[in-house]
Structure 1
C-alpha cells in the first residue's frame, strides 16, 4: 500500500490495518508474483529461417513507488523489454538450436537484459521461460519426412537382422543333421502328421539283400 497526502507521497505502508487521516489516499499494490505472457515473435534464425517463439516472464513488484510513478503501464515496459531480449538473444541461433531449446538457449542473458529494464519501473524479474518454438510448415513437413525415413530404415534393418539370424540358425541345423543321420531320421518322424503310416527299416539294405540271396 502506497499512501499519498494531498497528492504528495507519504510512503509505503507495511501489511496490516492503518488509520487514514483527512486528505490521505492509499493506492494498493499487489506484491505477488505473476506471469506476463509474450505473444509469439517471428525471429529470423542465423540460417535464414523465420521461427515463431513465445515466452513468459515471471515478475513481481520490487519498488511500489517506482511502479506507480515512473510509467503509466510498467507491465508494458517489461513486455517490450522481453520482446527485444528474445529477438537479440535468439537471432544468432540456427533453427535446429532453437528447437533444442533446453540446452542452447541463452536464457540467463535474456533474464539479465529484461531485469535491467524492469528495475527502472519498479519491477523485479525472476524467470523467463521460452514456451513454444514454431517452425514454418515446410520445415516441419521436411522434419516429419526425415523422421519417417529414419524409422523406416530402422525397421528394415531389424528385419534384415532377423532374417540373417534365421538363415544362420537353419544352416547350423542343416550341418547338425548332416553330421548325425539318426537325428535327421528322428526329426523326420517327429514332423510327420498324425495318422501317417511309418515303415521302419532296421539295418543296412544292402546287407539284408545279400543275406536273402545266400539263403
Structure 2
C-alpha cells in the first residue's frame, strides 16, 4: 500500500484521470490508482519588483521598486487559473505604482505620505491575486532613487533647517539666561542683606571680609 504525506507548509492538489478531485490538507493519505498529486508550497514569500522609472506629479523622474509579501491561498486555483499566477500580481503592482505616483510629488514620496501609496499598491495586488489563489499580505515601497542633483538639494535644505533650529535653541537659552540674571539682580536690589550674603558665599576661601556699620556722622547727614 502506497501512502502520501502532506507537510504542514504545503497543500497537495489531487487529480484523477485529469480531473480535479480536491486539495489535501496536512496529513497522511493512501495513494489511489490513476491519480496525480501536485504539491504546492503555501509559505509566505517576498518578491521584489524590478526598479522602474516613474514620473511624479512635479515632473521628477525617480526609480522605484516595491516588495510584495504573499502566499498561496487556494492551491487548486493557483495551479489552474494561470501558467504563472504571480506574474499577474507583479504586473498589477507595476501599473499601480506608475499610476499612483503620477499624482504624488517627490517630497511626499520621500516622507510620511508614502503610506498612502503603499495602501494603493496593496489594494491593487490583492484584487489581482484573489482569483488566482494568491493572497497578498502587503506591498511596500522598498527603494526610491532620485536624481543626484535633487538629493544634494534636499540634503542642503535639511542641513539649513537643522542649523536654523540649533540657532533658535541657542537664542532661547540665551534669552532664558538673561531673564534669570535680570530677576536675580532685581531680587538683590530689593534685599540688600541677601546681596551681602551672596557676596560672602562667592568670596574665595580665606578672604577677609569686614562688615561695618555706617558712621554716625554720615547717618546724621543722610537724615
TM-score with structure 2 setting the length: 0.73
Matched, 1:54 2:76: no
Q: CA deviation at 1:161?
A: 2.1
Q: Secondary structure at the match of 2:54?
A: strand
Matched, 1:148 2:159: yes
1:159 aligns with 2:170: yes
Question: Over aligned residue pairs, what C-alpha RMSD do you find?
Answer: 3.2
Gaps of 5+ in 2: 1-11
Indicate the structure (1 or 2) with the bigger Cα radius of gyration.
Answer: 1
Query: How far is the alpha carbon of 1:102 from its aligned partner?
Result: 5.7
Residue 26 in structure 1 maps to residue 37 in structure 2: yes
Distance in structure 2 (CA, Å) of the matches to 1:66 and 1:180: 90
Distance 1:205 1:193, change over 3 A: farther
Note the alpha carbon deviations across 1:172-206, whole angstroms, 9 max, x for none: 33334444445444443443323333344333274
Q: Which residue of 1 aligns with 2:88?
A: 77
| Other-structure match for 1:198 | 209
Q: More strand per residue: 1 or 2?
A: 2
CA contact (8 A) 1:56 1:128 kept: yes
CA–CA separation in structure 2 for the residues paired with 1:101 and 1:177: 53
Aligned-partner Cα distance in 1 for 2:190–2:122: 76
Q: Secondary structure at the match of 1:28?
A: strand
Aligned to 2:100: 89
What is residue 22 of structure 2 aligned with on the other side? 12
Task: Give the number of aligned pairs.
Answer: 208
Equivalent residues in 2 for 1:88-167 (5 A)? Answer: 88-101=99-112, 105-167=116-178
TM-score for both structures, normalised by structure 1: 0.75
Report the Cα distance in structure 2 between the residues aligned to 1:4 and 1:145, rounded to whole angstroms. 64
